[in-house]
């Protein structure tokens, strides 16, 4: 199979333009956290809530995750990657949210920074974990 170099060069030129096309991401810390919470609020439906409520940390999702299988790093288990979503759910949507607000810390900018590598660098969204 031969590669059409003209098509390849055109693709390479388009890739070079991606940084100019990206929207600026500079925003205050509290705005980033509020945006994350707004997105979480729209994404948590009955099915997602059921999955979050029924997780018993059995490890079956970890056994399906290619990142965890290769490294055996507990930080790379799928449920750990969803920690911020789970914390938001518990504090804002769960049936016992009034109790969780007393014991669960709220999401902060530091949490976003600490979780960023888990979300963007250690998940291909292959779906093997079922999450």
Residue-wise pLDDT for 45-98, tens only, equals 999 899 888 888 888 888 889 889 989 998 889 888 889 999 999 999 999 999
Can you tell me the distance from the alpha carbon of 115 to that of 84, in angstroms, rounded to the nearest whole number? Answer: 8
Full-model pTM: 0.73
DSSP designation for 129: T
Closest CA to 118 of 95, 84, 89: 84
- pLDDT tens string 89-128: 999 999 999 999 999 999 999 999 899 888 888 888 888 8
């Amino acid at each position: 199979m031969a590669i059409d170099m003209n098509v390849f060069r055109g693709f390479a030129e388009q890739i070079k333009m991606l940084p100019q096309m990206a929207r600026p991401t500079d925003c205050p810390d509290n705005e980033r956290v509020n945006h994350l919470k707004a997105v979480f609020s729209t994404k948590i439906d009955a099915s997602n809530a059921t999955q979050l409520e029924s997780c018993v940390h059995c490890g079956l999702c970890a056994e399906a995750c290619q990142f965890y299988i290769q490294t055996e790093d507990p930080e790379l288990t799928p449920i750990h990657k969803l920690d911020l979503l789970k914390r938001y759910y518990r504090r804002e949507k769960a049936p016992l949210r009034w109790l969780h607000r007393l014991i669960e810390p709220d999401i902060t900018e530091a949490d976003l920074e600490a979780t960023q590598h888990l979300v963007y660098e250690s998940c291909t969204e292959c779906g093997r974990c079922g999450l």
